[in-house]
Structure 1
């Protein structure tokens, strides 16, 4: 059996597909909004060296990723052990080597990877314009503004994904998440400007 089929089977046995989708979107959204806030914070502040901006964004991305991995792993291990224990009690048998036992061991790892990977990867995509300028590429827009635009795009895409999952208008869902981003930017300008 291929690794992807094994993963799908573990997710099916533990009914965890929805959990992975939620963590992908929720923590991806958190990562994108955090990066947007950081970028806007730099835009409203005294000009800073691009190295400092990039390092601050990268440090935040790493922290978001580590927080996501560790918090999801710890909480999912506890929940999976609890569920497996209840199932074992009701079946009066040890299920450690069963599909349910394997799912109880591996689903927390998968959830942790998605939970931490989503904000990390999305954050890295958002700060890509900063790295491109540092590598000598010429961009048509200032790198912080372009990074802010990428953040907005990521937020909109995550909203559209939510719309597709919920089987509602993906355009409306994307626009709703963009509205959240716009309110966030407005609050930052209002409170710091």
Structure 2
């Protein structure tokens, strides 16, 4: 069985989608918070900013992978055990057992890689600036714009699931990003 079949067998499409959105959103908001914190603070060396943000991105990744794997493995094993009990047979050599072992790994990777990849995208202007590229605006401001765009796009992605207007869904998530920025400005920007 291929991965798509295992996901289908376990009805995990929605779980994977939720983990991608939730942890992707966490990654975007975390990077937004860090970048704005640096933007509203005394000037800091670009290497320090990148290192702090990469440290946070790695922590989000490891946390996402480990927490999802532990919880999903337990859930999949529970479902498999219940199925074995109801069928009064050992299913350890079946596609159900294979799925119970494989799907938690897939879910864990999605849960951990979503915030990591999104964080790297948000940090791209900082790396470009560090490499000597001339940017039209400050690399920190450009990172904020990328974070807000990604937050909006996560909302657009959610609209496909919920069936509501992509514009409305994107604006709703963007408002969360804006509220986050306002709160950071109020508490850190003064």
TM-score range with shorter-chain normalisation?
Answer: over 0.9
- Give me the whole-angstrom Cα distance separating, in 2, the residues matched to 1:93 and 1:138: 66
Show the counterpart of 2:129.
Answer: 133
Give 1:96 deviation, angstroms. Answer: 1.2
Give 1:168 deviation, angstroms. Answer: 1.0
- Give me the whole-angstrom Cα distance separating, in 1, the residues matched to 2:4 and 2:163: 22
Show the counterpart of 2:35.
Answer: 39
- Give me the whole-angstrom Cα distance separating, in 1, the residues matched to 2:137 and 2:187: 26
Does residue 88 in structure 1 map to residue 84 in structure 2? Answer: yes
Show the counterpart of 1:155.
Answer: 151
2:19 to 8, 23, 26: 23
Gaps of 5+ in 2: none
Aligned length: 189
Does residue 105 in structure 1 map to residue 101 in structure 2? Answer: yes
Give 1:99 deviation, angstroms. Answer: 1.1
Does residue 119 in structure 1 map to residue 115 in structure 2? Answer: yes
**Could you list the per-position Cα deviations for residues 46-100 of structure 1 after superposition, in whole angstroms to 9, with x for gaps in the alignment?**
1100000011111111110110000000000100000000000000011111111
**Could you list the per-position Cα deviations for residues 16-49 of structure 1 after superposition, in whole angstroms to 9, with x for gaps in the alignment?**
0100000011100000000000000001111100
Give 1:136 deviation, angstroms. Answer: 1.2
Runs of 4+ in 1 over 2 A off after TM superposition: none
The TM-score normalised by the length of structure 2 is 0.98
Show the counterpart of 1:178.
Answer: 174
Alignment root-mean-square deviation, CA: 0.8
Gaps of 5+ in 1: none
Give 1:104 deviation, angstroms. Answer: 0.1
- Give me the whole-angstrom Cα distance separating, in 1, the residues matched to 2:38 and 2:93: 52
- Give me the whole-angstrom Cα distance separating, in 2, the residues matched to 1:25 and 1:100: 26
